Chain A
Amino acid sequence: MSTPLVEMRDMSIAFGGIKAVDHVTVDLHPGEVVGLLGHNGAGKSTLIKMLSGAYQPDGGEIFVNGEKAIINNPRDARTYNIETIYQTLALADNLDAASNLFLGRELVTPTGLVDDARMEAECRKIMGRLNPNFQKFSAPVSALSGGQRQSVAIARAVYFNARILIMDEPTAALGPHETQMVAELIQQLKAEGIGIFLIDHDVHQVMALCDRASVMKNGQLVGTVNTADVTDDDLLSMIILGKMPGSS
C-alpha cells in the first residue's frame, strides 16, 4: 500500500498517572475516512489532540507523508495542513463569523492592518458553498444556531486547503438535515483526496461514512478493521467488550 498520509506510531500520554492513551498506533491514507470509536474517556479525543498540537505526547512519533513531523503546538499542525474541527467548535463567541474563520491567520492590508472587508468577502464565498442559507455575517457567533456555528467551524477547517482533517463528533449537536449536510461534505472532501479522522459515537454513522474504523477502550487500541468486513454488532462488541471480531 502507498505511504500513509499520517501515521501516529506508538502514541502515549498520561495525565497525573492515568494513561489516557497507551501505545496506540493509527494511520490514515489520502481520500480515506477513518473512524475513531470508543466510549467517553476511551482516549479518542486525547489521541487526536496530539495530532492537532493541543497536547504534547509523552511517547510515540507522528509521520506525515512518511516523514517525521514535529508538532509542538496548533500552529505547527497547521503548517502540515492538519486542520481540526473540535467538538466544542473552539469559536470565540464575541467575534463574527469572518473573524473566527481567519482567527490566527488574518488577512491583512499592505499596511499590516486587519482587512475585515476582504475576510468577510472570503467568508461569504465559502459559506455560500457550505451553507447557502447563512446570512448573519455581522453578528457575533454567539447569536448563531448550533448548525450555523458548526458550519463556521467547518469552513475554518476547509478554507485553508486542509489535507488532513480531524472531525471530533461533528454532528453531535446537529439536526437530521444538518447531519446529512455534513455527511455529504465528508464525501466531497474525500473525493478531493483529503484524509479524514472522524471521531464519533454513532456506530451506524461510522459504518456509513468510514472506510476503516479504529476502536479504543481505556486508552488502548482494541483494533482497526475495514468497515466493509464487519457488521454493526462487531463494532459494538469491540467498543463494549474490547474484543476483535472473530476472537472469542
Chain B
Amino acid sequence: MTDTASATDTPQTRRTLLQTLEIDTRLVGMIGAFIVLCVVFHLATDQRFLTPRNIFNLTIQTVSVAIMATGMVFIIVTRHIDLSVGALLATCSAIMAMTQTLILPSWLGLGLNHPITPWVTILIGLTSGALIGAFHGWLVGYLTIPAFIVTLGGLLVWRNVAWYMTNGQTIGPLDGTFMKFGGINGTLGTTGSWVLGGLATLAAIYALWNARRSKIGHGFPVKPLWAEFAMCGIIAAAILGFIGILNSYQIPTRRLQRMFEARGEVMPEGFTAAYGLPISVLLLIAVAVAMTVLAKRTRLGRYIFATGGNPDAAELSGINTRLLTVKIFALMGFLCALSAIVASARLTNHSNDIGTLDELRVIAAAVIGGTALAGGMGTIHGAILGALIMQSLQSGMAMVGVDAPFQNIVVGSVLVIAVWVDIVYRKRTGDRT
C-alpha cells in the first residue's frame, strides 16, 4: 500500500501520454520519420511504395544489413568500431559456397543437394565467422590495437581472402534448402504465418504481464492498467498487421503453375496462395529477440553497457573487459556469417562483390538507430529500424527514378543529418552525446 502511494506522489510535472505508456520518445520520433518517409515515397511513386509486394521486398532486402547492425550496436556501445563486416560476410559466404558446391559434393562425394549439405555448410560458416571475429577481438582486447585499425586491415584481408578462395568467380547455384534462407524462395505460407503471428502476440502479452506481476511482487510502481492494455493493443496490431500485409502478397499465377509442375501436379483452377512470412525475416526477428534479451537480461549484456559507459569502472568492478571484447567481436563475426547465409541465398549464388560497402550501411543503420559513438548507449530495435529506414530510402529513391549518384548523395547526407538531430535531441534531454 505505502509503496504504491509513495510511487505516485513523487513530485513531478504532469506525466504525458508517452511517459505513462513508458515508450521511448526517440523511438517514437524514428517511427514517425519512417512513416513520413514511406508516405512521401508512396505518393511520389503513384502509390506503389506501400503495397504488400514492395513491403515484402523491402523486408527481405533489409534482413542482411539489419542482422549485422544488431551486432554493431554492441561493438559501438563498447566504444569500438568494425569496418570489416562486409568483407567478413564475403569470406563467410565464399567458405559456405565452396563447402556446399565443391567440398561436400565432390571431395566428400555426397553429391549435389544431399540433405546434410546445407546444415554442415551453415555450421562451418557460422563457426568460421565466430572464429575470425574472435581473432579480431583478441587483437583489439589483448594486444590493444585500436579496433579501427584491426578492422580496417580486416576489410582488405577478408575481402581478398574471399576473392582468392573463389578465384573471383561467381559460385552457384547453391543448395536448394540453403536458398530457402534468402527470402522469396523460403516463406511460411498464409497459415504458418498467422499461427506464428498469433504465438508471437501471445508471447509478447505474456512477457508484459509477467513483468507487471514481478514489479507488483516487489512493490514497485506500475503503469495504470489501461496503459498496459494499450501497449498490448499496439503490439498485437503491429505484429498481426505486419503478418496480414505479408499474407496479402499473392504468389504470381505463373510461378504457382511452375511450382505445381515441378511436383508433377496440375494446378486447380482459380488456386491462389500467398507468400507469407519469409524465413529470412523470421531469422531476423529471432536474432532481434535474442540480442535484446542478451542486452537487457544477461550479465554479458550488462557488462557490455557498463564497459561502454565507463571502462575503468567496469574494470574496477572485476569485469574482464579484454575477454569481453573478444566475445563481442566473436558475436559480430557470427552475425556476419548469418548475414552471409541470407545474402548469398537471396542472390542464389556467391558473387565476388557480395557485401561490398555493407560495413558503411551497417554502421549507418546502428547510428541512425540511436547508437552513440561515445559508447554506452544503443538499442537493438533502434538499429533494425535504422536499417529499415536506410533500405527504404534507397529503394524508394530507385522507384521514384532518382539517379544512382544522387541516391548515394542523399543517403550520405541523411546519415550526417540524422546524427546531428540526435545530438540536438540529446542536448535537450540532457543525455550524454
Query: A: which residues have CB within 8 A of B?
Result: 52, 54, 73-75, 78, 84, 86, 88-95, 99, 103-106, 108, 112-114, 116-118, 120-121, 135, 142-143
- A92 close to B297 (CB less than 8 A): no
Query: B: which residues have CB within 8 A of A?
Result: 10, 214-215, 217-220, 293, 296-299, 301-303, 305-310, 312-319, 376-377, 430-432
- B218 close to A120 (CB less than 8 A): yes
- B218 close to A117 (CB less than 8 A): yes
In the assembled complex, how far is the CB of residue B140 from the closest CB belonging to chain A, in whole angstroms? 20
CA distance A91 to B319 in the complex (A): 13
- A108 close to B299 (CB less than 8 A): yes
- A74 close to B306 (CB less than 8 A): no
Cβ–Cβ < 8 Å partners of B215 in chain A: 117
What is the chain A residue whose CB lies nearest that of B219?
A: A121
Cβ–Cβ < 8 Å partners of A105 in chain B: 317-318
- A92 close to B318 (CB less than 8 A): no
Cβ–Cβ < 8 Å partners of B319 in chain A: 103-104
- B297 close to A103 (CB less than 8 A): no
Q: Can you list 16 pairs linking A and B with CB atoms under 8 Å apart?
A: A54-B315, A74-B316, A78-B318, A88-B313, A92-B305, A92-B309, A92-B310, A92-B313, A93-B432, A99-B306, A103-B302, A103-B306, A104-B317, A106-B302, A113-B298, A117-B217
- A104-B314, A121-B220 given; name 4 further pairs at CB < 8 Å: A54-B316, A89-B313, A92-B306, A121-B219
- A74 close to B318 (CB less than 8 A): yes
Q: Which of B218, B219, B299 contacts A118 (CB 8 A)?
A: B218
Q: Is the interface of A mostly helix, strand, loop or mixed?
A: loop
What is the chain A residue whose CB lies nearest that of B213?
A: A117
CA distance A75 to B377 in the complex (A): 26
CA distance A73 to B308 in the complex (A): 20
Residue among A116, A118, A121 with max Cβ neighbours from chain B (10 Å): A116
Known A106-B299, A117-B217; contact A90-B310, beta-carbon cutoff 8 A: yes
Residue among A92, A121, A135 with max Cβ neighbours from chain B (10 Å): A92
Cβ–Cβ < 8 Å partners of B297 in chain A: 113-114, 116
Cβ–Cβ < 8 Å partners of A86 in chain B: 316
- A143 close to B376 (CB less than 8 A): no
In the assembled complex, how far is the CB of residue A89 from the closest CB belonging to chain B, in whole angstroms? 8
- A121 close to B314 (CB less than 8 A): no
Cβ–Cβ < 8 Å partners of A103 in chain B: 302, 306, 313-314, 317, 319
- B318 close to A88 (CB less than 8 A): no
Cβ–Cβ < 8 Å partners of A75 in chain B: 318
Q: Which of A90, A106, A114, A116 contacts B316 (CB 8 A)?
A: A90
- B318 close to A104 (CB less than 8 A): yes
- A92 close to B376 (CB less than 8 A): yes
- A84 close to B305 (CB less than 8 A): no
Known A99-B306, A117-B218, A117-B220; contact A84-B316, beta-carbon cutoff 8 A: yes
CA distance A84 to B298 in the complex (A): 25
CA distance A73 to B317 in the complex (A): 10
Cβ–Cβ < 8 Å partners of A121 in chain B: 218-220
Cβ–Cβ < 8 Å partners of B10 in chain A: 135
- B377 close to A94 (CB less than 8 A): yes
Q: Which 5 A-B pairs have the closest CB atoms?
A: A94-B309, A104-B317, A92-B309, A75-B318, A94-B376
What is the chain A residue whose CB lies nearest that of B218?
A: A121
CA distance A143 to B317 in the complex (A): 21
Cβ–Cβ < 8 Å partners of B377 in chain A: 94
Known A92-B310, A93-B376, A106-B299; contact A74-B218, beta-carbon cutoff 8 A: no
